[in-house]
């Protein structure tokens, strides 16, 4: 949450920062701002999206070769100009951007108020900045020393970047818990929350680690720990192309990412799955094969859509490996003193690799001796680096705030993991194993075929766009798909939606059914099919509107459903990957029909780096 960008070098800083903020807007978009130094410090901030800031700055003198910028997802204080970053210190000389939360800010604020400090915003950021300012003005000396002292007293998570009017040749940045990437150019440096603002200028980056401080000039990068010892920066080459973070002719990133799925799933399987020869190559899993095949349980930790992928994985793992699986919300797991024993296997699923709850949950499980396997999309992210091993999902940058292609890639990776472990363990018979490998291999093509239905899905979306509520029902492997369908609809179209196991509906939610309520059934052919059809009958008897997602060639639901969405048939264990597609498209088309910003739904942010 919150995106930060900074630049120092020979270019104009403002255009670099502005473009970077637009790329990072998925991280938060309730206000934005920039601070530049050229003959003094100048700060501009505005409530609303980055484009609104840009508009107010047209015609202003923005010349500078050093600057910082921020796009905000509000934590402390409502979204407004005053609470937008950058914040300026009492001395008027320092400006700072911050991503994270300072938990002990109230205590620090009270101390500063006693010293006569006044605050113009409600933010924890302004408190931290003035805390630094206070130490700096009392101690004199280097600003970096004041920052180090302050950060040792701070509880919470942060990436900060500070500039000082008196030292227009230096940026100082520090990180704990929130992401920071530094791009290294020729006589210039770029700082950002992720690599997307940097990729067009350089592919050489340094991922800053927790408790590290970076002192950056145009042609120099010094990394230190909080003990003031120098650290050698580890330079990584970015494996990402600019085209991957552009819309490429689509109206929205969300649509582009939905349509990319045949390729992203293919990329995810490529080099790993060899259906003809019956092999799955996953070095991270191979490395822990012994522990995985003998594990007495597996705990899956994730949030949101990634948690739904975890629920589907629970069904698959239990079926093919016979290992009991628990799927935990990271936010609950981390706070309830969970029982984690040495050697327990934990799978952390995260698109961003930066979700604070998931990160902290695996850190504490790791301390207790658990083996952490990460299923992560963003290469080099904190969760990927904290995990002992794992598998990247290779879905490419996901810019739309609602997760789509990352979800299906997570399912592809988790399925491969389960099949590999089940086969190694001997709980998955060879014939079934070979069949499932072929089925998995066919997924990209079947996803492509499911996408061909877009016109029918758009028609259905338009028919139900004015609904105030919706139910999503499914059983077995398709129950979490129903949960995901409901979540997508809520976040993109702001229609209240609930997902349930289809049979559970009789225990309460059926009271909601009337002749206006759309009920989406994920009813593809599987072992629960007959039962799902009975549940459909129950909804029909109460005059609910039934939209059924059914397998090609299966007409059992034709007489019950008001609308049908046909998808290619796949084995029930594989089908969720394909069934997710109509769920995503329904949400997308309804959101667009209602005129909403589907790439940046209200109140959301892509990378939830606060708890």
Give me the residues that bind ligand F6R (CB under 6 A), please: 303-306, 350-352, 355, 358, 402-403, 487, 491, 608
196 or 305: CB nearest ligand F6R:
305
Which among 2, 46, 446, 454 is annotated as catalytic? 2
355 or 551: CB nearest ligand F6R:
355
192 or 362: CB nearest ligand F6R:
362
> Measured from the CB of residue 601, what is the shortest distance to ligand F6R in angstroms?
9
> Measured from the CB of residue 497, what is the shortest distance to ligand F6R in angstroms?
13
> Measured from the CB of residue 404, what is the shortest distance to ligand F6R in angstroms?
8
261 or 350: CB nearest ligand F6R:
350
> Measured from the CB of residue 334, what is the shortest distance to ligand F6R in angstroms?
13
210, 197 in Cβ contact below 8 A?
A: no
Which of 128, 214, 235, 206 is CA-nearest to residue 170?
214
53 or 361: CB nearest ligand F6R:
361
Provide DSSP, 443-501. HHHHHHHHHTTHHHHHHHHHHHTT-SEEEEEE-TTHHHHHHHHHHHHHHHH--EEEEEE
Exposed/middle/buried for residue 364 (C-beta within 10 Å: 0-12, 13-18, 19+): middle
27 or 420: CB nearest ligand F6R:
27
> Measured from the CB of residue 195, what is the shortest distance to ligand F6R in angstroms?
15
Nearest residue (beta carbon) to ligand F6R:
304
Task: Evaluate the CA torsion angle 129, 130, 131, 132 in order and state its sign.
Answer: positive
Exposed/middle/buried for residue 469 (C-beta within 10 Å: 0-12, 13-18, 19+): middle
207, 380 in Cβ contact below 8 A?
A: yes
The answer to whether residue 431 is catalytic is: no
Cα–Cα distance list, 260 to 413, 451, 459, 485, 532 (Å): 17, 10, 22, 19, 31
> Measured from the CB of residue 358, what is the shortest distance to ligand F6R in angstroms?
5
325, 317 in Cβ contact below 8 A?
A: yes
> Measured from the CB of residue 308, what is the shortest distance to ligand F6R in angstroms?
8
Residues near 352 by beta carbon (within 8 Å), at least 6 away in sequence: 377, 378, 381, 606, 607, 608
CA 403/CA 407 separation, integer angstroms: 6
41 or 495: CB nearest ligand F6R:
495
Nearest 5°: phi and psi at 6? -150, 155
What is the end-to-end Cα distance of the chain in Å, rounded?
10
Which among 109, 454, 490, 606 is annotated as catalytic? 606
List alpha helices for 140-280, DSSP H.
143-153, 253-259, 261-269
The answer to whether residue 303 is catalytic is: no
Residues with catalytic function: 2, 606
């Amino acid at each position: 949450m919150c995106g930060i960008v900074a630049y120092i070098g020979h270019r104009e800083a403002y255009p670099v920062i502005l473009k970077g903020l637009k790329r990072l807007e998925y991280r938060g978009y309730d206000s934005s701002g920039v601070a530049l130094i050229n003959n003094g410090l100048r700060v501009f901030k505005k409530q609303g999206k980055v484009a609104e800031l840009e508009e107010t700055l047209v015609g202003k003198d923005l010349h500078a070769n050093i600057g910082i910028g921020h796009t905000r997802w509000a934590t402390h204080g409502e979204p407004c100009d005053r609470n937008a970053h950058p914040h300026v210190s009492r001395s008027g000389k320092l400006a700072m951007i911050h991503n994270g939360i300072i938990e002990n800010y109230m205590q620090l604020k009270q101390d500063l108020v006693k010293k006569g400090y006044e605050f113009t915003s409600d933010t924890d950021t302004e408190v931290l900045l003035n805390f630094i300012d206070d130490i700096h003005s009392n101690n004199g000396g280097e600003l970096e020393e004041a920052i180090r002292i302050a950060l040792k007293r701070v509880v919470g998570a942060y990436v900060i970047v500070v500039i000082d009017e008196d030292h227009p040749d230096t940026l100082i940045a520090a990180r704990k818990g929130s992401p920071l990437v530094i791009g290294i150019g020729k006589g210039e440096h770029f700082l950002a929350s992720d690599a997307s603002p940097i990729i067009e200028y350089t592919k050489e980056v340094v991922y800053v680690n927790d408790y590290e401080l970076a002192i950056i000039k145009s042609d120099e990068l010094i990394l230190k720990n909080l003990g003031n010892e120098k650290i050698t920066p580890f330079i990584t080459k970015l494996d990402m192309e600019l085209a991957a973070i552009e819309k490429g002719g689509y109206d929205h990133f969300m649509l582009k990412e939905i349509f990319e799925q045949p390729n992203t799933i293919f990329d995810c399987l490529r080099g790993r799955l060899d259906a003809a020869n019956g092999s799955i190559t996953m070095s991270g899993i191979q490395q822990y094969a012994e522990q995985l095949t003998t594990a007495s349980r597996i705990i899956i930790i994730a949030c949101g859509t990634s948690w739904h992928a975890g629920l589907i994985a629970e069904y698959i793992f239990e079926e093919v490996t016979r290992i009991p699986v628990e799927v935990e919300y990271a936010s609950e797991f981390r706070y309830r003193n969970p029982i984690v024993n040495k050697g327990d296997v934990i799978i952390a699923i995260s698109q961003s690799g930066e979700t604070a709850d998931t990160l902290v949950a695996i850190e504490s499980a790791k301390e207790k001796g658990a083996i952490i396997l990460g299923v992560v999309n963003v290469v080099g992210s904190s969760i990927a680096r904290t995990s002992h091993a794992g598998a990247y999902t290779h879905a490419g940058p996901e810019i739309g705030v609602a997760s789509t292609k990352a979800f299906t890639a997570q399912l592809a990776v988790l399925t491969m993991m389960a099949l590999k472990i089940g086969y190694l363990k001997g709980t998955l018979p060879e014939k079934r194993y070979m069949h499932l490998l072929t089925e998995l291999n066919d997924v990209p093509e079947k996803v492509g075929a499911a996408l061909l239905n877009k016109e029918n899905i758009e028609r259905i979306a338009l028919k139900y766009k004015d609904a105030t509520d919706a139910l999503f029902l499914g059983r077995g492997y398709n129950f979490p798909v129903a949960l995901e369908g409901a979540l997508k609809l809520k976040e993109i179209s702001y229609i209240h939606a609930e997902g349930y196991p289809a049979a559970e509906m009789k225990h309460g939610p059926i009271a909601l059914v009337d002749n206006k309520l759309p009920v989406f059934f994920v009813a593809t052919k599987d072992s629960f099919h007959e039962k799902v059809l009975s549940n459909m009958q129950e909804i029909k008897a109460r005059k609910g509107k039934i939209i059924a997602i059914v397998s090609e060639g299966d007409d059992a639901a034709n007489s019950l459903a008001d609308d049908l969405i046909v998808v290619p048939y796949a084995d029930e264990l594989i089908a969720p990957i394909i069934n997710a597609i109509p769920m995503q498209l329904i949400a997308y088309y309804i959101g667009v029909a209602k005129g909403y910003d589907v790439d940046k739904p209200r109140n959301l942010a892509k990378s939830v780096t606060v708890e």
